[in-house]
């Protein structure tokens, strides 16, 4: 049974770029431990000689020409939905403290 600690949950939240409140830490610690405990049953399964599946219909390396295709939306259309822009650039907060 995967029994996560508070620190595990905080580490996961940080890796996943999520802020979580103090109450959420305990809630998720319990819930995530339970879910991971359930899926752990796979460790008992004998899979000798089997390869992992990554694509179910057998398609491989679907290629297309490397050219600009008109998808009906312009870069201005896409910039209109960005929360913060300046002179047609996406503006973000500073990265280095």
Binding site for other proteins (CB under 8 A): 9, 12-20, 24, 28, 31-32, 34-36, 38-43, 45, 47, 50-57, 59, 62, 64, 69, 71-73, 77-78, 80-84, 90, 92-97
Phi, psi dihedrals of residue 16, rounded to the nearest 5°: -90, 5
Compute the least distance from the CB of residue 79 to other proteins, in Å.
Answer: 9
Phi, psi dihedrals of residue 9, rounded to the nearest 5°: -65, -45
Rounded distance, CA 23 to CA 4, Å?
A: 15
Compute the least distance from the CB of residue 62 to other proteins, in Å.
Answer: 4
């Amino acid at each position: 049974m995967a029994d996560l600690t508070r620190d595990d949950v905080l580490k996961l939240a940080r890796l996943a770029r999520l802020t979580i409140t103090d109450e959420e830490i305990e809630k998720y610690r319990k819930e995530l431990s339970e879910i991971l405990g359930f899926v752990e049953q796979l460790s008992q399964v004998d899979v000798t000689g089997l390869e992992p599946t990554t694509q179910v219909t057998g398609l491989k390396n679907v290629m297309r020409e490397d050219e600009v295709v008109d998808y009906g939306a312009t870069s201005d259309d896409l910039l209109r939905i960005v929360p913060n822009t300046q002179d047609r650039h996406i503006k973000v907060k500073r990265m280095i403290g």
